[in-house]
Structure 1
């Protein structure tokens, strides 16, 4: 068997295809990885044809000897997957399987294009598909796999129990063996370690840190049930009990040792678990002990206000953590409840920030996530968030995300029922979190983005009389060009002030 796995994501880390490749290879299945980074990146728009003909020709040549083609996708990359799949099916007699979060949430929609869809975890399911194809047997009764019958109905098989022992799975495939990439040129080329280094160096966090980063995950799942997040939808699929699973410390450290050996240019490790701090304190301390002894590189991770403690921070900073990202999302109690985060109110957020801030001399400024453009917000909610931002201890950075109502989330279902989500194509599939509404209150959050804008001035600009004037319709034409000019303007101001 030979399986070609295709990733359309801008980020070549692509946990899904790398993990599937490693698992299939461990079971004796030959794999080939093809990375087709979306040329639009975060600048999404209506552009169904992402790839030029020459690139598709190269892709088809790489798929010509395949027994199965797999495509991984999230909602924003449906167009990529459709273009890839139509090209394969037009010229090759090879079945195409889609996997990832969007097929998990919308299998019937995906089966309008793909031959098969993997719902949920894919390692065991795709191996079963390979074995069935090799034996000439049907694939319509494999758990986690859905297909469309000849009469047009969907064979919706149940999901199998979650894999509990994540250590039984091999680490992601970074071997560079039969890996290929479209690097923006005319053709698909081999993905060599040097090309990997260049791609990883382009990452936002790598640019901030001035180092090439290696991204990993030590868990699957999340302890929280935020209504805007697809994790909640997947929990509903499997049942919340046991959904959050961790790899052992030894398994993670062994992966990192292998990655550093293969790619000696790695300058830091990015642990991208949704809530790394949710691990028990004893496990974090053991991780820190082994990481310090066996890896020794700077690292970054994510936390939540409910899980950050002084004891965990102390262990992690001592082991080399230099940067931390934490979700704040809103300063409004009403919106926090809407998001399912009422247990992480402003007092708890500020307490976590105080703990983080106590390490400011040993870390880079932390990054706090803020969600903008929630359709249920009223001006008072948004003002609460801006005023809350003015209370954040410096230094810090903000990551500003325009809300995307992804399929399967509770918030998307609510918005659709209330008539606030009427055009999924425009409002979801072709929307990026960077597409912030250019109005006065969002401009205030933009002013605070780098954390050095004077807090008292920010609070004054968010006061009732000022908002009544600058937030009025009279000034609304000002804010779109202000957004467009903000990037170059702030870079100039920071250069003048000598700020990073």
Structure 2
């Protein structure tokens, strides 16, 4: 039985769909994984090649995974598929259909809510045996115009039962720039994968210990009524990584995509680090939450090979973190964690959220002061707050600031509004505290004055041309243990991703304002 899984994500890093792909293969189904990063329904070549590919495979089920930003492409693709392949059921899964099933059922036949491994197997069995699909757990569908939601399977407790996937998945295809659909081999993978395919993505856990009001985990926690973090065994992780590296000698980094890599006890972490260093011995990347950062834990993972660490500040205002985001991690926690990371000379990426309608001017000044106090250098990951349907913050904004809710289905959250205070927040990452405080003084004196605008303009120009590129270089050098030779050697791997983000801040769809 043939099954087609489709991603319209812009890169090949769709970990969840790869796990489903291999879960189907493990259970004896002929799954094909198709990446459509440049999908455009208005391009005849795109459509013709997709049509040809689907007819050749002749799947009995098509699954499409999507986040909110991919909704419109998924909708257009599904409308085309339903018009031309009427007998093939189409199911949507992923975070957007999970929290917005009603919106999605206008196009998809079925929605998979929550984890999909058990549901996709049940679906495949039912279709193969010509059985009723509407009794399957986690499915959502329309019945006489009414939305029906079936009972949820419990979350998978034993993550070891989920098969690992290959770095270059078998039976995987991509529609490239020439619109032709081709198998993904080593050459094609290197061309289209992020960082030229040198990074292996893996998840050692599912779930987050936090339930921040702006995050999709907020919706998932409400859905399953739990915030439990589930972990794979150390042995299971090492087995997957050993296989990946043996099969793909070009892997240079391991990227752990956990919400918080350190949300585990010291015994587990120490065991992992010892075996990882002995058997894998590759530099790795991990995201953590400040309150889980301790000197001992950082020592363990640094010694095991930690090269990059990602940490969320989000806001330097304790009021915003506590009352708006409901984060248990505050300014002092972040600065303590950042200090430990600095002591161990680890390349750091710190997340900051801008464009929050609930923040006042004083909150923004506190973020600026926090960034001034943060040990340098670090790589900033700056987001414009997206108010996603289904989250607690979306519901609150709907009542208090409905006019501030942007279309999250179209919004690129890497593009923030270039108003004066946002600009100063960003500048505080790259320029000296003394200079930033001078800019703040001028802002408070007369934010519409020529002097303030002129100083801000010059500061932004100097930062963009000199200090930001220099900061990025310094952080990359930290990731290479301070070696200039190795830093220069890896720079080409960062050009496409890092510099794309750098130039994205000049985006035309966000107005530059100096007042």
* TM superposition shift of 1:85: 0.7
TM-fit CA distance, 1:173: 4.7
What displacement does 1:200 show? 3.0
Structure 1 CA distance for aligned equivalents of residues 416 and 455 of structure 2 = 11
Aligned-partner Cα distance in 2 for 1:230–1:139: 28
Stretch of structure 1 that moved more, 166-175 or 244-253: 166-175
User: What pairs up with 1:316-355 in 2 under 5 angstroms?
Assistant: 316-355=301-340
* Cα drift, residue 135 of structure 1: 1.1
For residue 116 of structure 1, report the CA deviation from its aligned partner.
Answer: 0.6
Distance 1:281 1:103, change over 3 A: same
> Within 1, Cα distance between the matches of 2:318 and 2:45?
52
Distance, in Å, in 2 between the alignment partners of 1:36 and 1:338 is: 40
Look up the SS of the partner of 1:389 in the other structure: helix
1:403-437 deviations in Å (ceiling 9; x for gaps): 001111111110012243566xx531111112211
- What is the DSSP-based 3-state SS (H/G/I as helix, E as strand, rest coil) of the residue aligned with 2:353? strand
Of 262, 265, 271, the match for 1:277? 262
| SS class of match (1:58) | helix
Residue of structure 1 equivalent to 2:399: 417
Query: In structure 1, what is the equivalent of residue 436 of structure 2?
Result: 458
Query: The residue matched to 1:386 in structure 2 has which SS?
Result: helix
Q: Structure 1 residues 332 and 468 mapped into 2: Cα distance closer, same or farther (>3 Å)?
A: same
Match of 1:54 among 33, 45, 54: 45
1:154 is displaced (CA, Å) by 1.8
Question: Is 1:440 paired with 2:420?
Answer: yes
TM-score after normalising by structure 2: 0.86
Q: Is the 8 A contact 2:64 2:91 kept in 1?
A: yes
- Secondary structure of 2:407's match? helix
Displacement of 1:327 after TM fit?
A: 0.4
1:63 to partner: Cα distance = 2.1
Alignment CA distance shift 1:70-1:499 (3 Å):
closer
- Contact map agreement 1:220 1:246 (CA 8 A) in 2: yes
**3-state SS of the aligned residue for 1:277?**
coil
Q: CA deviation at 1:215?
A: 1.4
Give the 3-state SS of the residue equivalent to 2:373 in structure 1: coil
Q: Greater share of helix residues, 1 or 2?
A: 2
User: Which of 211, 214, 217 pairs up with 1:231?
Assistant: 217
Instruction: Give the Cα separation in 1 of the matches to 2:125 and 2:299.
Output: 49
How many residue pairs get matched? 472
SS in 1 for 2:262: helix
1:429 and 1:481 map into 2 onto residues whose CA distance is: 32
1:94 to 73, 78, 88: 88
2:119 to 125, 135, 138: 125
Name the residue aligned to 2:100: 106
Which of the numbers 144, 165, 177 marks the counterpart of 2:170?
A: 177
2:49 aligned counterpart, secondary structure = helix
CA–CA distance in 2 between the matches of 1:130 and 1:421?
44
Describe the SS at the equivalent of 2:151. coil
Among 467, 475, 480, the residue aligned to 2:443:
467
**2:286 & 2:19 partners in 1: Cα distance?**
20
Q: Does 1:167 align with 2:152?
A: no
Does the Cα contact within 8 Å between 2:109 and 2:141 map onto a contact in 1? yes
Which residue is equivalent to 2:200?
A: 214
Is residue 2:358 matched to residue 1:372? Answer: no
Which residue is 2:54 aligned to?
A: 63
Calculate the aligned-residue CA RMSD, in Å: 2.6
Q: Distance in 1 between matches of 2:391 and 2:339?
A: 32
Query: Within 5 A, what are the aligned runs for 1:293-304?
Result: 293-304=278-289
2:5 and 2:21 in contact (8 A); partners too: yes
CA distances 1:56-105 after superposition (whole Å, capped 9, x unpaired): 22222222210000000011100111111111111112110000001100
Point out where structure 2 has 5 or more consecutive residues left out of the alignment. Answer: 477-515
Deviation readout 1:429-457 (Å, 9 max, x if unpaired): 111112211111111232244x4x22222
Mapping 1:62-81, distance limit 5 Å: 62-64=53-55, 65-81=58-74
| 1:109 counterpart SS class | helix
TM-score, normalised relative to structure 1: 0.88
Instruction: Using the TM superposition, give the Cα deviation of residue 225 of structure 1 relative to its aligned residue in structure 2, in angstroms.
Output: 1.2
Secondary structure, in 3 states, of the residue corresponding to 2:59?
A: coil
2:428/2:436 contact within 8 Å kept: yes
- Describe the shift of the 1:434–1:478 C-alpha distance in structure 2 as closer, same or farther (beyond 3 A): farther
Contact 1:271–1:301 (8 Å) recurs in 2 = yes
Q: Per-residue deviation at 1:486? A: 7.6
C-alpha distance in 1 between matches for 2:382 and 2:364? 13
The offset of 1:499, in angstroms, is 9.4
Partner of 2:507: none
